[in-house]
Structure 1
Amino acid sequence: MARRAMSICPTPGCPEYTNGGRCTGCQAEAEARRGTSTQRGYGSRHRNTFRAAVLARDPWCVCTETNHDHGEPCGAPSQHADHHPRSRRELVADGEDADDPRHGRGLCGPCHSSETARHQPGGWAAEQL
């Protein structure tokens, strides 16, 4: 199996070499700046109100945008309650209840990862999601 060449950490000014992505120190700093899920608004109210209701309504992934032929829903078991079509951040900025289940949809893990990478500011490189 071929080994991948090491590269410099993509954090500006960091000289560390990695096997890809941020070095351990820069990744830890980014996670600390990001805050916990509760600090980002995903506390017990989110889990008990939004997530529970969205997954009960959409037990199967409803994503038709990610790697699916003919616009058909994925149909895999839903694992994530995704804010759609507006993000949690947009809903809060507009003064709306981001924990209202009508603002969400159920997605499987791969579809949620793909949608987050494509639609969140900076994708997976975002400092704050």
Structure 2
Amino acid sequence: MARRRALQACPTPGCPALTRQGACPDCRRARERRRPSARSKGYDRRWERTRADYLDDHPWCECEQHGALPPLQRPHAEHVHHLDGLGPLGPRGHDPENLQALTKSCHSKVTAIEEPGGWNHRT
């Protein structure tokens, strides 16, 4: 028999709703409406070209763990990470020296370490 979680207060300040986990549906929808789009943060066609060109030149994961392996033993990269953490709108947003090819899981780990508050909560 599955146990149900106890109700808890929505973590959004001032919201009286009770929820089983995290923010209530109304607060989640409101947060999503306020969230800037990826395009407004510079992830546009220019970035898509930069990313594709970088992955063509750096097809293998470049994280610390995999970077120590010979190229053909590394997993295939699918994400491109900005080393300065500023994204494509930063002063070095399209500079190959500021980019790093990573697998999805390695990119998630790096982001979790660099941005413990979550994904791009710097608005």
Match of 1:37 in 2: 38
CA contact (8 A) 1:33 1:128 kept: no
Letter of the 2:96 partner, please give it. Answer: P
Could you list the per-position Cα deviations for residues 63-97 of structure 1 after superposition, in whole angstroms to 9, with x for gaps in the alignment?
12xxx59x84693221211101x1125972xxx24
Unaligned 5+ segments in structure 1 are none
Alignment of 1:72-111 (within 5 A): 72=68, 75-84=74-83, 86-88=84-86, 92=90, 96-111=91-106
CA RMSD, 1 decimal: 3.0
The alignment-based identity, stated in percent, is: 38
TM-score normalized with structure 1 length: 0.71
Match of 2:14 in 1: 13
Of structures 1 and 2, the one scoring higher in RCO (CA 8 A, sep 6+) is: 1
TM-score normalized with structure 2 length: 0.73
Q: Secondary structure at the match of 2:100?
A: strand
Could you list the per-position Cα deviations for residues 17-36 of structure 1 after superposition, in whole angstroms to 9, with x for gaps in the alignment?
34433333222222222211
Deviation at 1:2, TM superposition (A): 4.4
Match of 1:118 in 2: 113
Unaligned 5+ segments in structure 2 are none
